[in-house]
Structure 1
Amino acid sequence: MAKYFDVHPENPQRRTIGTVADSIRSGALIAYPTDSCYALGCQLGNRDGIGRIRSIRNLDDRHHFTLVCQTFAQLGQFVYLDNDVFRTIKAATPGSYTFILPATKEVPRQLLHPKKKTVGVRIPDHAIAQALLAELGEPLLSSTLLLPGEEAPLTQGWEIKERLDHVVDAVIDSGDCGTEPTTVIDFSGGGVEIVRKGAGDTSRFE
């Protein structure tokens, strides 16, 4: 049964965030709010968590997982950035964007796209996500909480708790955080490809 945490959306309770972070370090898979709908998250090397995310979302090995980072400096440890891409991404973060980039050796192999050796990265503009990342001191391995066969992500913490009670370990509820997922921008092919138009403004990349 998943633990349920009711957290203030703008001033998250530090003790609660600390409790959730400790559970992540102990192998928990959580559902948490971001600036573009809820996400599933676990620690980077958590093989069981990765497997459960794949099972919950019915994902194949071509799915791009996302490393949700607290800062740009942290993001830079996990992906390769040339100067132009560096400036472009820095200007757009934090925000509702996921960027696909070539991964460094810091990223576990099971998270990489099998052919491209790429990974998704993002820096959320959301108080709870940022507080959790600050407490953890490392990125969260994440994937949008979109269930198989459904067109819209789950947006209410109580509903997530109800529907995923036996497959996640904790749910953070901070109220509705929207249904629109991130805009996905792929820089891995040498140019700029808008893979998905979502919550982030695409005009700066067009």
Structure 2
Amino acid sequence: MLLSINPINPQARLIQQVVDVLNNDGVIIYPTDTVYGLGCSIFSKKAMKRLQHIKNSNDHSGMNPKKPLTFICANQTEVQEYTQGIPTQVFK
């Protein structure tokens, strides 16, 4: 499925389709400033495994610690929910 979402005037129906994909263990592709990114819900182990498999398609060993995944947080408060003991200086 290919969706084109207007960044200035996004349609709620299309956003909901993306949310549904994420909630059903799906992987999405989205544009960034330079390239396209791959994404999934961090709450879905199945989706995380799918994403890792895509990233390591030539390496069928599964999760590869040498190719870590990143995740996007809405704000610093959300970062604190997923991390431990980050010094104040790091946030600056």
Q: What TM-score, normalized to structure 2?
A: 0.75
1:9 match: 7
Q: Is the 8 A contact 2:40 2:51 kept in 1?
A: no
Q: Which has the higher contact order (CA 8 A, sep 6+)?
A: 1
2:81 match: 77
Q: Is the 8 A contact 2:5 2:11 kept in 1?
A: yes
How has the CA–CA distance of structure 1 residues 35 and 69 changed in structure 2, closer, same or farther, with 3 Å as cutoff? farther
Aligned amino acid, residue 83 of structure 1: T
Return 66-75 or 9-18, whichever deviates more: 9-18
Aligned amino acid, residue 41 of structure 1: G
Q: Is the 8 A contact 2:22 2:28 kept in 1?
A: yes
**Contiguous gaps of at least 5 residues in structure 1:** 88-206
Q: Which of 47, 50, 53 does residue 52 from structure 1 map onto?
A: 50
* 1:63 and 2:67 matched: yes
Which runs of structure 2 are paired with 1:87-102 in the superposition (5 Å)? 87=92
Q: Which has the higher strand share?
A: 1
Give the Cα separation in 2 of the matches to 1:28 and 1:55: 13
Give the Cα separation in 2 of the matches to 1:75 and 1:52: 24
Cα RMSD for the two superposed structures: 1.9
Give the Cα separation in 2 of the matches to 1:77 and 1:85: 16
**Contiguous gaps of at least 5 residues in structure 2:** none
CA deviation profile, 1:84-108 (whole Å, cap 9, x unmatched): 1122xxxxxxxxxxxxxxxxxxxxx
Q: Percent identity?
A: 28
* Moved segments of 4+, more than 6 Å: none
Aligned amino acid, residue 78 of structure 1: Y
Q: How many residues align?
A: 85
1:145 match: none
Aligned amino acid, residue 76 of structure 1: Q
